[in-house]
Structure 1
Amino acid sequence: MKRVWGLMAIISIILVLTGCGGKSGFTIFIIDNQGDPSVISEQLQANLQQKLGEEPKVEVVTSAMYDVQKILVEYAAGGHDIFILPEADMKQYGNNGSNVSLDDTFDQEKYERGVFEGGVFVEDGTGDDGSDIKKETHLYGIPLEDMKMFQEVQYAAKNLFATIPVSASNIEESKKVLKALTE
C-alpha cells in the first residue's frame, strides 16, 4: 500500500513540474473494463453541457482501453472532477480515502450499491491504524445504470460507478454535475 501512495506522489510531482497537471474547466474521466466509453463521449458531453448551460465548461475524457495503471495515473494527477470506473476500482480507491462522501447530496437507500466502508482523512493521525485514514460507511458512488443521462445515451453499464475524487477542484460543483447526470 505504501508503494502505491509513493508512486502516486512521484507521479503527481512529475506532472506538476512538467506543467501537465493543470486543467481548465470541468472534466469527467471514464474508463470501462467491459466496453469502450469513447463511443458516447461527445454525445454525453453535449447533453450535459446543454443541461448545465455555459458554466462550467465540461469535458468528457475517456480511455478506450482498460488499464489499472491508467486509473492510478489519472487519480495521482488530480486533474478530473468526476471519475466513472468499474465498481471494484471505485471501491479500492474509496477504501484508501480517495473519494468524497455523497451522503449530503444523494439518498443512500436509492443508491445502496454505492454505499461501502471507505477511508476518510483525519488530520490528527487518529485513524483506525494510527494513520490519517479512518474507515466510515458512506455513499461514495452512483451506479451508471441509475443515471438518466447515461440511460439516454444507451451506456448505463451495470459495472460502472461515478464518484468524486478528493482532488476535485470544486467538490460542490462536482456534486451539482453528478446530480445533473442522474436527473
Structure 2
Amino acid sequence: MRTGLKRLSPWIIGMLTLVLLAGCGGRDKDSFSIFIMDKGDASVIREELAQKLKDKLGEQAPTIEISVSPLYNQQKLVVEYAAGEHDLFLLPEEDMKLYGQNGSNLPLDDAFDKKTYARGVFEGGVFKKKGQEEEETDVSKETHLFGIPVEQMKMFKELKYNSKTLFATVPPRTSNKEEAIKVLKALTE
C-alpha cells in the first residue's frame, strides 16, 4: 500500500499544481490594468483615480484595476513588463526610454500630437515583421511619441498629483490598444 501511495504522490502533486495554476490564468477580459511606479507614493490617488476614470469613460468602461508599487524598484518594473498583465504603465522617464529602446512601448503618434507631448518623443524600438508571411519580428529604431508626461494630464492635475518625471506608456502586450488609447485620452482631456 505504501509503495502504491509513493507512486501516486508525484501525480497528485502534479494535478494539484495544475489546478492551482489554472486558477491564476490571467485577468478578466472586461478589465483594464494600470501599473504605476513612481519615486513618490502614488497609492494615495489609486482609488480616486480609478473612480474618476470610471466616471469619465461611462457605463461602457471596463473595470479599472490600478496597481501601485509603494517603492521604486527597477527589478519589479522588469517583472511587471515581462508578465504582460498591464495595459498601461506610468513610470519614470529614464525607465520609459530605457525599455523603449527594445520595443517595450507602442508608438502613440496616431492618437496624440507629437508637438504637444514633445518630451515623450524619442528614438525607440518598434517591432516590424521580417516578411509579409513570416511571424518573426525585428526591432527597428524609429522616432515616435512613446509616452505622455503625467504633468500634462488633466486628471492628474485635478488630483493634485504632480510628477515631473512620470510618463504613461502602452506596452506591446496590452490586451486592447484601442482601449488603452481611450483611457489615455480620458487621463489627458
TM range (shorter): 0.7 to 0.9
TM-score by length of 2: 0.82
SS at match of 2:85: coil
Question: What code does the residue aligned with 1:37 have?
Answer: A
- Offset of residue 97 of structure 1: 0.3
Residue 98 (structure 1) shift: 0.9
Identity among equivalent pairs (%): 61
5+ residue gaps, structure 2: 1-19, 132-136
Q: C-alpha separation between the residues in 2 aligned to 1:21 and 1:163? A: 24
Deviating more after overlay: 23-32 vs 50-59: 50-59
Could you say which structure has the larger radius of gyration? Answer: 2
**Cα offset for 1:21?**
5.6
Q: In the alignment, is residue 23 of structure 1 matched against residue 27 of structure 2? A: yes
Q: 1:44 and 1:60 mapped to 2: Cα distance?
A: 9
Mapping of 1:101-140 within 5 angstroms?
101-124=107-130, 132-140=138-146
Give the aligned partner of residue 149 of structure 1.
155
What amino acid is aligned across from residue 121 of structure 2 in structure 1? V
1:144–1:150 Cα contact (<8 Å) kept = yes
Which residue pairs with 1:53 in the alignment?
Answer: 58
1:107 aligns to what SS in structure 2? coil
TM-score by length of 1: 0.84
Runs (4+) of structure 1 exceeding 2 A deviation are 17-21
Q: 1:90 aligns with which of 89, 96, 102?
A: 96
Code of the residue aligned with 1:154 in structure 2: it is: K
How many residues of Structure 1 are paired with residues of Structure 2 in the alignment? 161
Determine the structure 2 residue equivalent to 1:76: 82
Residue of 41, 50, 67 corresponding to 1:36: 41
Task: State the one-letter code of the partner of 2:62.
Answer: P
